[in-house]
Amino acid sequence: MQTLYIIPGACAFGSMVALEWLHKPYQIGLTTPEIRKTPEFLAINPLGKVGALKDGDTLVYENLAILMYLVDKNPDSEIAIPVNSTSRIEAYKWLSYFSSTLHVAFSPLFYPERFVSENMIDDFKQKMLIRLRDVLAYVDSYLGKNKYFVGSKLSIVDAQGYGILRWSERAGLLNDYQNIANFIARMNEIPAVKNAQNIEIQKTDNLVNSSFVGYHKF
Ligand SMILES: N[C@@H](CCC(=O)N[C@@H](CS)C(=O)NCC(=O)O)C(=O)O
């Protein structure tokens, strides 16, 4: 059994969509701060973070690694990305950008107290907002010219990009980036994305053609 550990609304969303696209049975482990500190969870990801995947005896953490693991384990699936292809280079590039730049551009705005002391928070957030806007402008400009992140078809990269770009709304910035807003609207219509959204919020009665089999019991 494959079990993907998540926090609803967080960055493992792309891997949920990938599992939906694979049509193989999988469970979701809904984690809390308490669960992420348990020996059971730390044995899966010693960093105490999501995404984390347990697939039989194989343990994978870091979203980029999970996504590429799923792609490589399923070379004949619709999410396959051929090795030594331009698509593969683009996938590495964007997944790396999402992890190293996009994801971390949001964190200081959402959790400023992790970075600076109370009296510096307002100034810090102003500066971090400028940085985030630069990053979003770059992605928005790309999406203005390209429907998909990789080539001419939907891929795990769109799923992962969606999972993080949706935070633009929470940051109150979505209206300023029309191409990102259009991308998010398009992704919202995809059945696998709808299924993953519902699984995140434990609304599993009306999943369509899903291979989700239930929640992992901790
Ligand atoms: N570089 C990691 C980032 C993982 C990460 O920061 N996950 C966050 C959710 S978006 C998390 O688990 N936060 C919970 C915590 O820090 O307690 C990846 O891409 O997998």
Interatomic CA distance for residues 215 and 30, integer angstroms:
7
CATH code for the domain of 21:
3.40.30.10
Q: How many domains does the chain have?
A: 2
Are residues 170 and 108 part of one domain? yes
Are residues 114 and 21 part of one domain? no
Are residues 166 and 112 part of one domain? yes
Average pLDDT score over residue span 81-103: 97
Tens of pLDDT, residues 98-127: 999 999 999 999 999 999 999 999 999 999
Cis preceding-peptide flag for 9 (omega within 30 of 0): no
- Ligand 1 atom closest to 10 (CA): 10
Interatomic CA distance for residues 88 and 100, integer angstroms:
18
> Could you give the 3-state DSSP secondary structure of residue 116?
coil
User: In this prediction, what percent of the chain has a pLDDT beyond 70?
Assistant: 100
Are residues 175 and 158 part of one domain? yes
Are residues 208 and 125 part of one domain? no
User: In this prediction, what percent of the chain has a pLDDT beyond 90?
Assistant: 100
CATH code for the domain of 142:
1.20.1050.10
β pairing state of 26-30 and 212-215: parallel
Give the pLDDT score at 3: 98
Ligand 1 centroid – CA 105 distance (Å) = 13
Interatomic CA distance for residues 178 and 143, integer angstroms:
9
Tens of pLDDT, residues 130-185: 999 999 999 999 999 999 999 999 999 999 999 999 999 999 999 999 999 999 99
Are residues 176 and 90 part of one domain? yes
Interatomic CA distance for residues 167 and 189, integer angstroms:
18
Residue 105 CA: distances (Å) to CA of 18, 102, 108, 157: 24, 5, 7, 18
Tens of pLDDT, residues 54-64: 999 999 999 99
Are residues 97 and 185 part of one domain? yes
Interatomic CA distance for residues 121 and 114, integer angstroms:
10
- Ligand 1 atom closest to 98 (CA): 19
**Residue 158 amino acid letter:** D
Ligand 1 centroid – CA 109 distance (Å) = 15
Are residues 125 and 110 part of one domain? yes
Are residues 209 and 187 part of one domain? no
> Could you give the 3-state DSSP secondary structure of residue 166?
coil
Ligand 1 centroid – CA 151 distance (Å) = 28
Burial code (b: 16+ CB inside 10 Å, e: under 16) for 12-41 equals bbbbbbbbbbbeeebbbbbbeeebbeeeeb
Are residues 119 and 108 part of one domain? yes
Are residues 72 and 25 part of one domain? yes
Are residues 93 and 183 part of one domain? yes
Report the sign of the C-alpha dihedral through residues 153, 154, 156, 159, in that order.
positive
Interatomic CA distance for residues 121 and 8, integer angstroms:
26
Which candidate, 112, 141, 144, places its Cα nearest to that of 126? 112
Domain boundaries, position 16: 2-79+192-215
Q: Which of 49, 103, 107, 162 should be mutated for ligand 1, with most atoms under 8 A from CB?
A: 49
Report the sign of the C-alpha dihedral through residues 31, 33, 36, 40, in that order.
negative
Sole residue written with tokens 């992420």: 36
